[in-house]
Chain A
Amino acid sequence: MDPNLRVDPQAVVEVCRCLRDEPDLKFEILSDLTGLDLPKENKIQVVYHIYSYSHRHQIVLKVDLPRENPQLSTMEGVWKVANWLEREAFDLFGIVFEGHTDLRRILLPEDWVGHPLRKDYVEQEEYDGISTQRAPLVEKLLR
């Protein structure tokens, strides 16, 4: 397992900039940015996987946010790839990235309700007049 750091939400951008620029660390790329919903602890985590080509090491940063109204500043200034990765985290987890240039849904339609990768997500019954439920016959066969 990779080294794992818990970072304060206010400090995360500064920490990442330091990780990228410090010659002994030199983490050049943001491999992955995603969310992790932990309803039991009433928090949502943002998980950063950062990798260094020069030194071949990886680090995992985790930021704890409250489940209601999670907000975090954007990582776009450090790695540009964060733009799309943060849009995805916003779309699927509802994490708002402050200062993001273009925070829109990316995979789901603009008018979708809810954030599906949250554990307590309930699918809307229909979208745009199309039912999202199984046909009654399928339900009957499955029973």
Chain B
Amino acid sequence: MSDPVHAESEAFHTEDMTISMGPQHPSTHGVLRFIVKTDGEVMREAIPDVGYLHRSIEKIGEKVTWHGYVPYTDRADYLAAMFTNQAFCMAAEKLAGVEVTRRGEFCRVIACELNRIASHLIAVGSFGQDIGAVTPFIHALRERETVNNLMEEICGARLTYNYIRIGGVGYDITPETCGRISEFLDHFELIVDEYNRLLSYNKIFIERLANIAVITREDAFQYNIVGPNLRASGFKWDIRRDIPYSVYPELEFDIPVGTGEKGTLGDCYDRYIVRIREMQESCRILHQCLKMLPKGPAIAKVARKFKPPAGEIYVRVEAPRGDMGFYVVSDGSEYAYRVRIRTGSFTAMSLIDKISRGLMVADLIALIASLDVDAPEIDR
């Protein structure tokens, strides 16, 4: 070649590298895999490869009885099993026209909000860990341990609860447990402040998250991003308020939304701080529920051989990872004809490739952590 400058740039050209991140990468949530093409530290694309945790929970729904399917729904999202329980039971109740007892509804809300706190603690704790702050993770897990103890008191299980049944809840909440929940709440509100001092307003943490991986509202609609991730983009939408179910209309609570306080609206920091504030709102809801808990039976009388009439229903609940939809079709038999579980993580995952282009590799980890995607929920 005659042109020396050109020859030099030919000799020193860089090549894109293709790296497989996962499936056992410690900072991905559950078993995820990304095929990452990078130019040095900058990402060209990150293609998610999911399915490692596929347990065909939808197919199992066609093979077991209505009552018998509730424990399987636990496994669809084991960090927030109460919500999958509730969504499926709500679908079955609506199909069969079963009325849930009032005490049952309150027990459900108490259990769900405790579960939301536990799930968000994992989310924010592992968020810290993912980007290199291990101490807050231990703090978060310590508190989650207390929630797990409470859950064990309520329903005998620490992770896969099988607590919410068609028509109400499996076990009534005793006054002693109510006392302990209220004790925990008083303690936990202080812990959130501690958490804020330790992590939320830590300068290094903010620098890592502000202005990173911005999700605009248009993207959120196009990719159907739901839950805290949608609210972080500044859109005030919560199923508990906007498509009310259970006793939520009687309860007072705010819906935290992202404001772009440390950077751009819809960045990683907004998604983080929304979760912290949601935990505080959950505490408010729990305080009210404990006060309002009415007397009466915790479960309605439901036939053992549960056979809802033929029909179909789509129900939504506000799970920690957003709008969880159950599309259930009945043909009038002992088994559901089709159970479809639509989860927030699945759609959030499909957005990662678009958002991650041009980010640093380390920021991809922050993005995954901020979306709080959960492998069991993606793969079902």
Partners in one complex: yes
Q: A residues touching B (Cβ–Cβ < 8 Å)? A: 1-2, 28-32, 34, 36-37, 47, 49, 53, 56, 58, 60, 79-81, 83-85, 88, 92, 105-109, 116-117
Taking the closest CB of chain A, its distance from the CB of B213, in whole angstroms, is 17
Are A31 and B59 within 8 A (Cβ)? no
| Given contact pairs A79-B222, A84-B349, A1 touches B312 in the complex (Cβ within 8 A) | yes
Contact residues in B for A92 (Cβ distance below 8 Å): 58
Contact residues in B for A88 (Cβ distance below 8 Å): 346
Q: Within 8 Å of chain A (Cβ to Cβ): is B201?
A: no
Q: Within 8 Å of chain A (Cβ to Cβ): is B77?
A: no
Q: Within 8 Å of chain A (Cβ to Cβ): is B350?
A: yes
Are A31 and B323 within 8 A (Cβ)? yes
Contact residues in A for B235 (Cβ distance below 8 Å): 53
Are B51 and A79 within 8 A (Cβ)? no
Q: Within 8 Å of chain A (Cβ to Cβ): is B2?
A: no
B323's closest neighbor in chain A, by CB?
Answer: A31
Q: Within 8 Å of chain A (Cβ to Cβ): is B224?
A: yes
A79's closest neighbor in chain B, by CB?
Answer: B222
Q: B residues touching A (Cβ–Cβ < 8 Å)? A: 50-51, 54, 56, 58-59, 221-224, 235, 237, 242-243, 311-314, 316, 323, 325, 327, 329, 338, 340, 342, 346-347, 349-350, 379-380
| Given contact pairs A28-B221, A107-B50, A108-B54, A47 touches B327 in the complex (Cβ within 8 A) | yes
Contact residues in A for B54 (Cβ distance below 8 Å): 107-108
Are A81 and B242 within 8 A (Cβ)? no
Are A49 and B327 within 8 A (Cβ)? yes
Contact residues in B for A49 (Cβ distance below 8 Å): 314, 325, 327, 342
Are A34 and B350 within 8 A (Cβ)? no
Contact residues in B for A58 (Cβ distance below 8 Å): 314
Q: Given contacts A1-B313, A80-B222, list 7 more A-B pairs with CB under 8 A.
A: A30-B224, A31-B325, A81-B224, A81-B347, A84-B350, A107-B379, A108-B54
Taking the closest CB of chain A, its distance from the CB of B95, in whole angstroms, is 10
Contact residues in B for A105 (Cβ distance below 8 Å): 51
| Given contact pairs A81-B347, A108-B54, A117-B59, A56 touches B314 in the complex (Cβ within 8 A) | no
Are B224 and A31 within 8 A (Cβ)? yes
Are A81 and B327 within 8 A (Cβ)? no
Taking the closest CB of chain A, its distance from the CB of B48, in whole angstroms, is 9
Are B224 and A29 within 8 A (Cβ)? yes
| Given contact pairs A106-B50, A108-B54, A32 touches B221 in the complex (Cβ within 8 A) | no
| Given contact pairs A31-B224, A31-B323, A49-B325, A84 touches B311 in the complex (Cβ within 8 A) | no
Expressed in whole angstroms, the Cα–Cα distance for A79 and B219 within the complex equals 10
| Given contact pairs A49-B325, A83-B350, A116-B56, A107 touches B223 in the complex (Cβ within 8 A) | no
Expressed in whole angstroms, the Cα–Cα distance for A85 and B223 within the complex equals 10
Expressed in whole angstroms, the Cα–Cα distance for A83 and B50 within the complex equals 14
Expressed in whole angstroms, the Cα–Cα distance for A76 and B342 within the complex equals 18
Are B221 and A29 within 8 A (Cβ)? yes
Are A108 and B224 within 8 A (Cβ)? no
Expressed in whole angstroms, the Cα–Cα distance for A105 and B50 within the complex equals 10
Contact residues in A for B311 (Cβ distance below 8 Å): 1
**Cβ-defined partner of B340 (8 Å) among A29, A32, A56, A81:** A32
B312's closest neighbor in chain A, by CB?
Answer: A1
Top 10 A-B residue pairs of the complex, sorted by shortest distance between their CB atoms: A84-B350, A107-B51, A81-B224, A80-B222, A107-B54, A32-B342, A34-B340, A81-B223, A28-B221, A29-B224
Expressed in whole angstroms, the Cα–Cα distance for A59 and B59 within the complex equals 25
Are B50 and A81 within 8 A (Cβ)? no
Contact residues in B for A80 (Cβ distance below 8 Å): 222-223, 350
Expressed in whole angstroms, the Cα–Cα distance for A31 and B346 within the complex equals 12
Are A116 and B59 within 8 A (Cβ)? yes
Are A84 and B327 within 8 A (Cβ)? no
Taking the closest CB of chain A, its distance from the CB of B37, in whole angstroms, is 15
Expressed in whole angstroms, the Cα–Cα distance for A63 and B304 within the complex equals 35
Taking the closest CB of chain B, its distance from the CB of A97, in whole angstroms, is 15
